[in-house]
Amino acid sequence: MSATRTEYDSLGPMTVPADALYGAQTARAIENFPISGLTFPRPFLRTLGMIKEQAALVNLELGLLDERRAQAIAAAAAEMARGDLDGHFPLDIFQTGSGTSTNMNANEVIANRADQLLGVEAGSSLVHPNDHVNLGQSSNDVIPTALHLTAAVEIREKLIPALTGMQKVLGEKALAFDDIITIGRTHLQDATPVRLGQIFGGYFRQVTLGGGELARCLDGLGELPLGGTAVGTGINTHPEFAQKVIANLSEITGLHLREARDHFAAQAGKEQVVAASAALRTTAVALFKVANDIRLLGSGPRCGLGELILPAVQPGSSIMPGKVNPVMAESLLQVCVQVVGNDAAIALGGLSGNFELNVMMPVMTYNLLQSIELLGNAVTVFTSRCLQGLEANRERCEALVEESLAMCTALAPVIGYDRAAQIAKAAYASGRTVRAVALEMNILPEDELTRLLNPRTQTEPGIG
């Protein structure tokens, strides 16, 4: 049998693996929550370690911890932030709604590692998880602080740069495709001509708007609940503790961080998290439109729309030789669907602010951070493996324009709506173009008809 040791909490003794740095409360949570196998992601553990490190240093500065313990705690917390101790964080996401189990997991791991750094065995309690590591803190303010800070860092450092890269490529394609005329579509039916560059300019703007929403939500996430402790009153914490810790975190991350204006709102309400998720959902909705349009415009290669030529990145079928599918677009579409689903879970979690505490923080944390990670990864690979190599089928685009019945729209201001509609119906019934039918009916001089049916002028404002 594996070696074990006995650790204690307020409920009594618990058997813990000898090589585990966690203690009794974590061991109880392992037994209590064998739910999903989903755990807090690395970015969250990094941030939680950073908070614990700065808390120890500030408590030393305030004279609340002796230097020996404080430096050992800070060193152990720094190891946690770097990822050196990740194997000691096994707890399931579906646990206590405040995240207390994970906060205590961190406190116990840091305390036992600090014991080792001080030359005693783990579990000796020379450094105590509650009295020393958690000094001035509560799960109820630390976990939401870690959530806000992790989300803000990941949005700024991973997702916004990915979207910026996509914007750049979309902008380049908008310029490159600007002289290619194709047919517009509304209600999935032929509409008036557009320039392919205009279509991609629209995509550029949609992605820009999504990125702007995400940038704006950073301000709300920068308001941190730390300092409220159990219920928002700040009991058992030094009045300067939160301000000093947050100032240190702001300097480390480069983010505009500050203490919550109202700790009751910060701990019981999760509107800033819900707002950040809504910005992610908005971005996902825009990305879905872009990816879906591109795969439809690339449908074919012979029996679809065929206006775009997507890069071939892998064989598309196990039974149909030579088939190539728009797999990069399909991957991004699935990510967008997941993000919208995550947003629903986060919104429902935001409803669970009962009295002085929200009790859905772990699941909100997991879903928010997953959405950021998935979007960042999917946008990056879609940009590099689809958008950058995207080409336009100029001949196909221009052939479709001449075939469109909506060409008669340019005639309506000159000959009237009803007469233009008659031309469209005759063209449809005979299988001929609007131009051919209008010439046969001799409704306008040929040079005037040529001027009105110029596809390029139809892509810009103007009448007749």
Enumerate the active-site residues.
187, 317
Q: What are phi and psi of 341, to 5 degrees?
A: -65, -40
DSSP 181: E
Cβ burial 259-284 (10 Å sphere, 16+ → b, else e): bbeebbbbbbebebbbbbbebbbbbb
Q: What are phi and psi of 135, to 5 degrees?
A: -60, 125
Beta strand segments in 107-231, E = 181-186, 189-195, 223-224
Structure tokens at 26: 């974590």
- Indicate the helix (H) or strand (E) that contains 308: strand 308-309
Q: How far apart are CA 167 and CA 173, in angstroms?
A: 10
Q: What is the DSSP string of 319-379?
A: SSTT----HHHHHHHHHHHHHHHHHHHHHHHHT-EETTEES-HHHHHHHHHHHHHHHHHHH
216 Cβ contact partners less than 8 Å away, ≥ 6 residues apart: 279
Structure tokens at 226: 């730390």
Structure tokens at 419: 């007469």
Secondary structure (3-state) at 387: helix
Q: What is the DSSP string of 20-38?
A: ----HHHHHHHHH--S---
Q: Which of 211, 45, 239, 67 is nearest to 142 (CA)?
A: 45
